[in-house]
Amino acid sequence: MDASFTPIADHALLVTFAQTQDLQTRNAIAALDRSLAENPLDGVIETVPALVNILVVFDPLVTDHSILKDSLRTYLSKPVPDSHGGTRHRVHICYDGPCAPDLEAVAIATGQSTDAVINAHLSGHFDVSMFGFAPGYAYLTGVPDSIQVPRKPTALRDVPAGSVIIAAGQCLITTLTMPTGWSRIGRSPTSVLTGHPDKPFLFDVGDRVVFERIDLATFHTLTQDGSHV
């Protein structure tokens, strides 16, 4: 897949695949990210995948923009797989009452019943496209068209950790109590923050998330005993 290269300061190269995100772009980003992790280039310190591009950070004492660009072109000359081969995660979600304060509003906005919104969300194919905004905030693409709603005009404060929120084509499981303008359609007992220094987040970019419904009693049980589902 074709890509453009933009130098960032003296220590990074931004590799851009498209102007808008789609499955082919996500696969290309994930494939390059995985290739650089498995076969590191001299001087590369870190890769930061995003929705349509990936930032490759390097040590300017070891390499430079020109050398790195030539090396990356070799990586990009290889065929991009149809899927990015990430890990599949099963994440429990409760859509009941206090766990989903915006569920009814989403149903009204999309002209459906709450059950139809729930079923659509459960049928979504969610891929981890990037991390941003706060620790462990994994932006998941794949919200079905039928339940896509825009962000709210203003953000709501003190949204609890574990809230499953949607805006446009993205979904996210919050990891901290923070404000958000996204719609809260459920809550999960699954902890995205692992507490392990070598792997601080449950997900990696390129992973697939599948939601599985639980009732309110099960949610409270799992939350109280601290289980990771």
Q: How many domains does the chain have?
A: 2
Residue 1 tokens read as 């897949």
- Residues 92, 72 share a domain: no
Q: Alpha-carbon distance 108 to 106, whole Å? A: 5
- Residues 122, 25 share a domain: no
Residue 217 tokens read as 């009693």
Strands 208-214 and 88-94 turn out to be: parallel
- Residues 95, 65 share a domain: no
**Would you list the DSSP string of the chain?**
---EEEEETTTEEEEE--SS--HHHHHHHHHHHHHHHHSPPTTEEEEEE-SSEEEEEE-TTT--HHHHHHHHHHHHTSPPPSS----EEEEEEE-SGGG-TTHHHHHHHHTS-HHHHHHHHHT--EEEEEE-SSTT-EEEE---GGG--PPPSSPEEEEPTTEEEEETTEEEE--SSEEE-SEEEEE----SEEEETTEEES--TT-EEEEEEE-HHHHHHHHHTT---
Structural domain includes residue 198: yes
- Residues 209, 117 share a domain: yes
Structural domain includes residue 220: yes
Q: Which of 56, 76, 96 is the last residue of a domain?
A: 76
- Residues 9, 109 share a domain: no
Phi, psi of 65 (to 5 degrees): -60, -45
Structural domain includes residue 82: no
Q: Alpha-carbon distance 144 to 44, whole Å? A: 37
Q: Please name the amino acid found at residue 206.
A: G
- Domain of 15, CATH number, reads 3.30.1360.40
Structural domain includes residue 64: yes
- Residues 170, 63 share a domain: no
Q: Alpha-carbon distance 49 to 139, whole Å? A: 11
- Residues near 11 by beta carbon (within 8 Å), at least 6 away in sequence: 57, 58, 59, 60
- What are the average pLDDT values for consecutive 10-residue runs of the chain, which has 229 residues? 93 94 85 89 94 95 96 85 75 97 98 98 93 92 96 95 96 96 97 91 92 96 66
Structural domain containing residue 60: 4-76
- Domain of 127, CATH number, reads 2.40.100.10
Q: Which of 76, 104, 124 is the last residue of a domain?
A: 76
Structural domain includes residue 83: no
- Residues 58, 95 share a domain: no
Q: Alpha-carbon distance 19 to 70, whole Å? A: 22
- Residues 42, 113 share a domain: no
- Residues 191, 96 share a domain: yes
Residue 1: per-residue pLDDT: 77
Q: Which of 76, 101, 118 is the last residue of a domain?
A: 76
- Residues 145, 93 share a domain: yes
- Which has the closest alpha carbon to 38: 5, 82, 85? 85
Structural domain includes residue 81: no
Structural domain includes residue 58: yes
Structure-derived torsion over alpha carbons of residues 120, 101, 153, 128, reported in degrees to the nearest 10: -50
Structural domain includes residue 229: no
- Residues 15, 117 share a domain: no
- Residues 63, 140 share a domain: no
